[in-house]
Amino acid sequence: LALRRGVDYVMADGSRLEYNTNVAWTADVVNRATNSALKSSVAVEAELGLLAGEEDGLSVAEKHAKMTDPDIVADFVQRTKIDALAVTIGNVHGKYAREPNLDWARLDQIRNNAPEDLPLVLHGASGLPDNMLHRAISAGVCKFNVNTEVRAASRQAVKVASAADKDVLDIMKDSVDAMVP
């Protein structure tokens, strides 16, 4: 549906699937993206590894999370032909329950095993301190997902606007404005 609507970037999240099923499913998404009638260079991001935390109403317990295995990165990228790879190195969806502990050696191995020009992505970057963001950038991460911070800004704006007894349209505008840096 997204491809038919003309989007230029999709996230193919098969991270909950068994590896070979994830490969096949992701490759199919890439194939549909590159063969779409719109063919306006639709990029496909995929996730390898499973983040702990909550996203879109789904919850993954920390004990069920899986770090990205650097040894399968090259195979995954080669077989799927993805345009960007979201990695799991200790990052979590939602708020961090304790100080983030990212596996930098794993990220460096992933970078070394991935094609040099493949952008890496870090989901669950909300709340990461600047020094960690800079370290991730130095290892090739070029996209950070910060949905928790965006939603928190929106909720705070709604709370303040509601307390000021603003009209619903003004509340919505304040909420949108709060989500844009």
User: Quick one: DSSP state of residue 64?
Assistant: G
Phi-psi group of 8: left, alpha or beta (phi > 0 → left; psi -120 to 50 → alpha; rest → beta): alpha
pTM of the model: 0.78
For residue range 76-106, list pLDDT tens digits in order: 999 999 999 999 998 877 777 778 889 999 9
Tally Cβ neighbours within 10 Å of residue 64: 10
The two three-digit tokens of residue 27, written as one number: 């490759």
CA end-to-end span of the chain: 29
For residue range 143-168, list pLDDT tens digits in order: 998 777 777 778 888 999 899 999 99
